[in-house]
Amino acid sequence: MSLGRAHRMSCAVDAAAPAGVLYALLADTTHWPLFLPHVLHVEPLDADGERDAFCLWSAPEGSAVSSTRWRRTLDAGALRVDFHQEDPRAPFTSAAGALSVTHLAPGWSRLTLEQESTAAGAWTARTQEALATAERGARAALDGVRAAAENWSALDGLLMTFEDRLRVPGTAEQLLEVLYRVGSWPGRVPHVVRADVTEERPGVQRTALVRVNGDGSAYTTESVRVCFPAAGRIVHRHTRPHPLLAAHHGEWSVLPDPEAGCTVVSRHAVLLDGRAIGRVPGPGADPESARRHVRELLRRESAAVLGPARQPAAEGGRALRAV
């Protein structure tokens, strides 16, 4: 009988950014869906300043959406994060390692990943493929952190987080059904003229929506949505965002409201695409006008999506299922 074998992976990127900036991007998982290409959502589980744990949803290289649990130890003084996976997936039985940042020269730093994974049984083609996918994903993640760090001086002007709260009559189940059934939005939500929806498994959707701007022009967005019905939440990460955005991550949540039925909260975290400013919303636009444009656009769209919730559809909907 073959014993488990260990695979060691090491990769690094050099960034034209201070070491502290790189470490800050690693330590704070809040905006990982905006910077790391395969990350869809990060759900914090616990944290005490030096240690944390979180569940991460990802879809590397267009593969199926999966969730994994990680636990980390953070050392800000050493610019190092040690981590291990709590629920390794076959063919692996363990995965652990460290991310460290090294100062190279004024304005230059190196980000290094060292990871060891153990696979049970024989070393098969499936194992090799899984290792190759993991390594490509790791390199893409390092490149994402590098790109964000090298743009650190402009991030404050390009990064936006905000939320809108709307009181809507009806039960939480009715409202979640309206939000979940994206395929029914065309003809009911004014700015959505087409919706292609694939349900990868109950609670996980891939959507492509054709939307219409106020001037009549159309654009397409694509997203992955993960539903948490017991918590009254749907999180979404746009893999093809609005033309003005480099990245977009958001969440719908439904809260009980004794005065109005429910309060629906629409949260957004977006990263403006600096290259698009001046083309959208129009010639001469600056980051501040682009921020206002995006803020108002997403506010209008959120309100429009909830329009049907004020007059629930007569047809019966199916119960939502957790992922």
- Give the pLDDT confidence of 53-89 residue by residue, as tens digits: 999 999 987 678 999 999 999 999 999 999 999 998 8
Whether 292 has a pLDDT exceeding 50, the answer reads yes
Phi, psi of 298 (to 5 degrees): -70, -30
Which comes out higher in pLDDT, residue 195 or 125?
A: 195
Which comes out higher in pLDDT, residue 161 or 5?
A: 161
Domains, the chain: 5-150 (3.30.530.20), 157-310 (3.30.530.20)
Contact (Cβ atoms closer than 8 angstroms) between residue 224 and residue 59: yes
- Give the pLDDT confidence of 253-262 residue by residue, as tens digits: 999 888 778 9
Contact (Cβ atoms closer than 8 angstroms) between residue 4 and residue 122: no
Phi, psi of 207 (to 5 degrees): -125, 150
* Cβ count within 10 A of residue 215: 7
Phi, psi of 48 (to 5 degrees): -135, 15
Average pLDDT over residues 127-149: 90
Can you read off the two tokens belonging to residue 62?
A: 């267009």
